[in-house]
Copies of this chain bind each other. A is one copy, B any other.
Amino acid sequence: MATVPLLTDEAADPAARAVFDDIRAKRQTDYVNNFWRALAHDPPLLAATWDRLQQVMAPGALDPLVKELIYVAVSVTNGCEYCTHSHTAAARAKGMTPAMHAELLAVIAMAAQTNALATALQVPTDERFQT
């Protein structure tokens, strides 16, 4: 259950429905996932989030699959169940193979481990890491 009802197209106000339509058009699907239906209670936040997501995830100096892997890494580290599922699925849709998934998980686990050690040891930052 969500802390707000998920809004159907009928229940959403026109501004939210316009975002739903844009999601369907841009993603070439008739499916709008639950995140957007929950956010639709606040149409300006919905629109701002969708607009920003498209800008951030567009091809650039990093390709979209690499961005999606980074998104999964953050979502896992934040312990976000929904985001871990949705961005793992998105990464697969963008070409993540099982071998890439396995390596992604190994890096996340390695980082979690050395992050904990560095924090436990309170290691001071080396001068040479300074820019």
Contact = CB atoms under 8 A, between A and B. Distances in A.
Interface extent on A, as a size class? Answer: 35 or more
Given A1-B131, A79-B78, A112 B112 contact: yes
Contacts of A123: 2, 6, 34-35, 38, 82
A121 B69 contact: no
Query: Which DSSP category, helix, strand, loop or mixed, fits chain A's interface?
Result: helix
* Residue of A33, A48, A74, A79 ringed by the most chain B CB atoms within 10 A: A74
A56 B106 contact: yes
A120 B2 CA distance: 9
Contact of A110 (B66, B71, B115, B126): B71
Interface string A40-81: 011011001100110111001110001101111111111111
Given A4-B131, A35-B118, A89-B128, 13 more contacts: A2-B123, A33-B128, A34-B125, A38-B118, A39-B121, A49-B109, A56-B103, A56-B110, A60-B103, A61-B102, A74-B112, A78-B119, A112-B115
13 contacts: A3-B84, A34-B124, A41-B101, A49-B113, A49-B114, A56-B110, A60-B99, A61-B103, A73-B73, A78-B111, A78-B116, A105-B117, A105-B120
